[in-house]
Amino acid sequence: MAYYLSPRFLEKLAVHITKNYLKLPEVKIPLLLGVHGRKGEGKTFQCELLYERMGVEVVHISGGELESPDAGDPARLIRLRYREAAELVRVRGKMAVLMINDIDAGAGRFDALTQYTVNTQLVNNTLMNIADNPTNVQLPGSYDETELQRVPIILTGNDLSTLYAPLIRDGRMDKFYWQPDRDDRIGIVGGIFAPDGLSSQDVTMLVDTFPTQAIDFFGAVRAQIYNEQIRDFIYSVGLENVSRSVVNTTTPPSFRKPDFSLSHLIEVGDRLVREQRRVDDMRLANEYNRVLQGNPASAPPTGSVYHAYDPEAHAPSAGAVPVADAATTDVSRNGNGDAPQCPLPPTPHTSTHPPSHSSTLPPDVQDQINALLAQGYRLGLEHVDQRRFQTNAWQSGPPIPSQDAASARSTLERCLDDYDQDYVRLFGIDPKTKQRVMEKIIQRPGR
């Protein structure tokens, strides 16, 4: 099967790998290449296609291997795998790379509450040391003066800003943000459905029908198509006979080609979108946590619908956080693990929803509510006591209705009464980018 390899992706990785095997005079060449972008966009798969095309040997490390009960083991593993890749170059006479998948999940720090272990420090320090001395990588307890072959290191992740800032600086790491454009998406999806005879027009229509979905969504749609036949197979052999029919059998079941018509694919895709929307809308964990905290009155009534937003929006932040540009980052954070700080055009305080004169909220808070609602944002609330305020450990408050300003003000007034001894922070949630905007602390204890 001929899968699609993006020309932009191919060019970036091919140049980086080749450059690390050349001896350019007086040129500082970064050893690390960080490939980052939204989840499910095929970063690792595109890398694998490139390695196969170029005939590059790959030594893998998973982000899950960067932690261990024994301090120093992950750092030693990185050095061992790097030397293994260098040995492959020497023995097989082919280019090789060391690839670390999901580096941010293994060595990143997402917020102030993320545990930062000795292994995390050693992993960051080891990668920096290798990037600075790529031909002299020693194992602990031994020293070999033989110069190693320089081997490029490819890192993949969703948010490289969670890593130690000196590690990702220019000179050590070259960065590549992978966001497939429309042509890339059409090419990749066409490769996914190539065995099914889907025409180029149908592929284009399918991509345009779900323009905001990641690449792995279309792979999930294709997998779902077979569910109908598998269901029929289970009922035909009986539940009690499924195991003997599929495990250690000399005649495995065969299935006819499913219906891969465009209308059927869109129907299955809509079903997947609805299921994901239910996950986003339920937020039952928030309700459960509020009950455990002894405030069942703040939990929504049975049958109510949460105004959901991305869980990243609840990450603690040090100050006001405007909306981020969704076209340039997936979940942008600075090197300290705080929420993104991106520019937002000034918002006038005029609104089509005039404040109620009977409200007890300060005028500036009413203006903020009106401005957020006027721009189509949802409202969010967080609170924290004085002790946890020092650690920036904010807790989610009850949902605030966003249908009209009067209901929002009324709910907010009740929340301020409930949390009269806490800091309270109000913010907006962009329903498109799922990021928070216009944060503001509207209550401080003792004021």
Q: Where are the beta strands (DSSP E) in 102-158?
A: 153-157
Identify the sign of the CA torsion 211, 1, 36, 76: positive
The SS3 of residue 301 is coil
Does residue 22 sit in the same domain as residue 170? Answer: yes
**CA nearest 283: which of 299, 262, 297, 267?**
299
Does residue 266 sit in the same domain as residue 329? Answer: no
Q: 107-132, pLDDT tens digit by residue?
A: 888 766 666 788 989 999 999 999 99
Q: How far apart are CA 131 and CA 152, in angstroms?
A: 9
Q: 38-91, pLDDT tens digit by residue?
A: 999 999 999 999 999 999 999 999 998 998 888 889 999 999 999 999 999 999
Q: How far apart are CA 145 and CA 128, in angstroms?
A: 20
CB 90 within 8 A of CB 149: yes
Instruction: Assign residue 131 a region (left: φ > 0; alpha: ψ between -120 and 50; beta: otherwise).
Output: alpha
pTM of the model: 0.62
| pLDDT for the residue 287 | 66
Q: Which amino acid is at 390?
A: Q
Does residue 25 sit in the same domain as residue 146? Answer: yes
Does residue 173 sit in the same domain as residue 193? Answer: no
| pLDDT for the residue 312 | 43
The total of structural domains in the chain comes to 3
Mean pLDDT of 148-170: 93
For residue 49, give its domain range.
7-177
Does residue 210 sit in the same domain as residue 265? Answer: yes
Mean pLDDT of 362-391: 84
Mean pLDDT of 155-182: 93
Half-sphere exposure of residue 66, counting CA atoms within 13 Å on the CB side? 26
Instruction: Assign residue 61 a region (left: φ > 0; alpha: ψ between -120 and 50; beta: otherwise).
Output: beta
| pLDDT for the residue 328 | 39
Half-sphere exposure of residue 117, counting CA atoms within 13 Å on the CB side? 15
Distances from the Cα of 40 to the Cαs of 43, 179, 180, 258, in angstroms? 8, 10, 11, 25
CB 445 within 8 A of CB 384: no
Tokens 């996914």 -> residue: 192
Centre a 10 Å sphere on the Cβ of residue 249 and count the other Cβ atoms it contains: 10
Q: Alpha-carbon dihedral of residues 303, 381, 323, 183, nearest 10 degrees?
A: -20
293 in a structural domain: no
Does residue 74 sit in the same domain as residue 131? Answer: yes
348: its two tokens: 């006038």
- The CATH number assigned to the domain holding 361 equals 3.30.190.10
Of 146, 177, 208, which residue constitutes the final position of a domain?
Answer: 177
286 in a structural domain: no
Q: How far apart are CA 285 and CA 35, in angstroms?
A: 33
